[in-house]
């Protein structure tokens, strides 16, 4: 199962939204949702958290998850198991990931995360 997440944030207002793309057996499930007002880095963590909550709610924990994010800070924090500035968000994310059999986290360039990016942009416009 593949999970792609992205966040979009309006810099002036800090309105934020998440884009979540789940691919299960070749079938795409596209989700977008508003996030609390926050900076973009926090929004990236919250988008990942929302994605893993969605996986647990819809599919349960008995899966291997390939998690893709274009946020270097999310990918590096997960890899290290540490974040000075986003410790609470990282702890929440790691707790969710620990419930699955295996989670492989991979950073990818923004240009390869179009699906989740477009969903986040659409979600952002819903908050206006």
Give the model's pLDDT for residue 125: 84
- pLDDT, one tens digit per residue, over 29-88 is 999 999 999 999 999 999 999 999 999 999 999 999 999 999 999 999 999 999 999 999
Does 128 have pLDDT greater than 50? no
Domain 2-110 class, CATH top level? alpha beta
Q: Could you tell me the pTM of the whole model?
A: 0.95
How do 64-69 and 27-35 pair as beta strands?
unpaired
Q: Which distant-in-sequence residues (6+ apart) come within 8 Å of 53 by Cβ?
A: 96
């Amino acid at each position: 199962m593949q999970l792609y997440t992205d966040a979009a944030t309006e810099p002036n207002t800090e309105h934020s939204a998440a884009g979540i793309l789940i691919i299960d057996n070749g079938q795409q499930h596209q989700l977008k949702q508003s996030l609390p007002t926050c900076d973009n880095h926090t929004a990236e963590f919250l988008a990942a958290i929302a994605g893993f909550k969605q996986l647990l709610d819809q599919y349960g924990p008995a899966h291997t998850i390939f998690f893709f994010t274009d946020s270097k800070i999310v990918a590096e924090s997960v890899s290290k198991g540490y974040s000075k500035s986003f410790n609470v968000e990282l702890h929440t994310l790691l707790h969710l990931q620990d419930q699955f059999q295996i989670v492989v986290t991979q950073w990818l360039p923004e240009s390869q995360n179009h699906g989740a990016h477009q969903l986040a942009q659409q979600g952002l416009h819903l908050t206006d």
